[in-house]
Amino acid sequence: MFVGIGLMPHGNPVLEPPDEETERLAEVLRRIGEEFRKADSYVLISPHNVRMSDHLGVVMAEHLVSWLGFEGKELPGEWETDRELAEEIYRTEKDARMPVVDLNFASLRGEYSRWPLSWGELIPLQFLEKKPLVLITPSRGVSRETLIRFGEVLGEVLEKDAKKIALIISADHGHGHDENGPYGKVKESEIYDRLIMELINENRLEELPEVPEDLVKKALVDSYWQMLIMLGTMRKAEFELKASAYACPTYFGMAGALWVRK
């Protein structure tokens, strides 16, 4: 059963909030973790794992191992893949003619079936009780319609599973908020971030596909594609927004939001 969705950032500041705004965001992330303690498994969609130009990936490796932190922040740990759920997601997406591939490394099963985790997964996982999970990687090179349809199929799988499953969307937003940051300051980052929070807080996520492509590109985001998948999954059950927050203590914007089943 599909029990809820957590939109979670993957920036280091949420681990040690430098200001009140970021602390409010961290509180929402802790609330997500508390809400999903009842879940049996997670599906985690991250933009910072394996990158493919025109396919989406479902990681089948049994052991998910901390490997790459961000800006020197190391977050050690090991998580296990819900292999049964991963296989069901892959088969169902494949049958629906989605551009999906299954991913493994070294060995099909057992001790040497291992896969590296980046900050895109590790930071959200710091707020979640350790449980089996399925790691999925989005692609920016497939159409918006395909990403949404992928999410619809994913939602169907989660909904019919006997386990309680929470969907985690790892996403940071505009990366051009600081003239001294690596991308400089661009007005589109502020425009995009403000729009995303309006769509979340005003229950207008169905407008996500209408966000102009030029805005997405110029805002320097890494959230849009996995949020389209999220939108597709949300069409398979009724959800209610329970909490949200936004912070931008550095050059990139971060948002957190919790949706639970009505």
pLDDT of residue 72: 83
pLDDT mean over 90-119: 96
Output the six-digit token pair for 4.
Answer: 């809820």
Residue 53 pLDDT > 90: yes
pLDDT of residue 71 exceeding 90, the answer is no
Q: Which of 81, 235, 237, 220 is nearest to 150 (CA)?
A: 235
pLDDT tens-digit map of 191-215: 999 999 999 999 999 999 999 999 9
70: confidence class by pLDDT, cuts 50, 70, 90: confident
Is the pLDDT assigned to residue 237 strictly greater than 90?
Answer: yes
pLDDT mean over 103-128: 96
So what's the pLDDT on residue 73? Answer: 86
Predicted confidence (pLDDT) at residue 228 exceeds the cutoff of 90: yes
pTM of the predicted model as reported, rounded to 2 decimal places: 0.97
Distance CA 91, CA 86 (A): 9
Q: For position 79, what pLDDT does the model report?
A: 98
Give the H/E segment covering residue 117: strand 114-118
User: In this structure, what are the phi and psi dihedrals at residue 261, rounded to the nearest 5 degrees?
Assistant: -65, 140
pLDDT given for residue 215 in this prediction: 98
Q: 124 pLDDT exceeds 90? A: yes
- Is 57 a residue whose pLDDT tops 90? yes
Pairing outcome for strands 165-170 and 2-8: parallel
Residue 28 to residue 8: CA distance in whole angstroms: 9
pLDDT, averaged across the chain = 97
Q: Give the per-residue pLDDT at 100.
A: 98
**134-158 pLDDT per residue, tens:** 999 999 999 999 999 999 999 999 9
d(C-alpha 27, C-alpha 135), whole Å: 24
Q: Which CATH superfamily is domain 2-261 in?
A: LigB-like (3.40.830.10)
